Amino acid sequence: MSSTAGKKISRDFLANIENLHEILFLIDEAGSLLITEKSVLYKIRLGCEEAVVNIIKHGYASGNQGIIHIECWIEGGKLMIVLEDNGVAFNPLEYSKSLTSIQRPENGGMGIQLMLKAADRIHYLREGNKNHLSLTFDIN
């Protein structure tokens, strides 16, 4: 990947847990081009790992095989990461709002909370039969 701002890298992965390491390697590569601070790289990896694991575990829980499409690029001092899948519709932002702090530990949602804390901005859109989850990380 070139360090040129705005240049996108994208790749498709089968949505299974065996590909998690390869997915995170792509995200690490994108982040490490312009970011040297380990704590920032860790935050990016943590937020993305939680998002990807949720897609794999819940978006394709019925056993359907699917694809996760990932795009990464640097724009205006931010690392932009978009995850697209055609799994079950799921808006992590709405789900997070629906849980009280008492419910979270027993009923799940901790991964979503980690994702929300790690990313500086998150946007979700369901378009057609696809989930689009955008994570923005400030790198300046």
Asked if the structure places residue 4 within a domain, the reply is no
Asked if the structure places residue 130 within a domain, the reply is yes
Asked if the structure places residue 3 within a domain, the reply is no
CATH code for the domain of 73: 3.30.565.10
Which residues form the domain of 23?
13-138
Asked if the structure places residue 28 within a domain, the reply is yes
Asked if the structure places residue 132 within a domain, the reply is yes
Whether the per-residue pLDDT at 1 is higher than 50: the answer is no
Asked if the structure places residue 1 within a domain, the reply is no
* Number of domains making up the chain: 1
Handedness of CA 110, 120, 125, 73 (dihedral sign): negative
What gap in Å lies between CA 110 and CA 38, rounded to an integer?
23
Q: How confident is the model at residue 2 (pLDDT cuts 50, 70, 90)?
A: very low
* pLDDT tens readout for residues 42-80: 999 999 999 999 999 888 877 778 999 999 998 888 999
Contacts of 48 (CB under 8 A, 6+ apart): 23, 24, 27, 81, 83, 135
Asked if the structure places residue 118 within a domain, the reply is yes
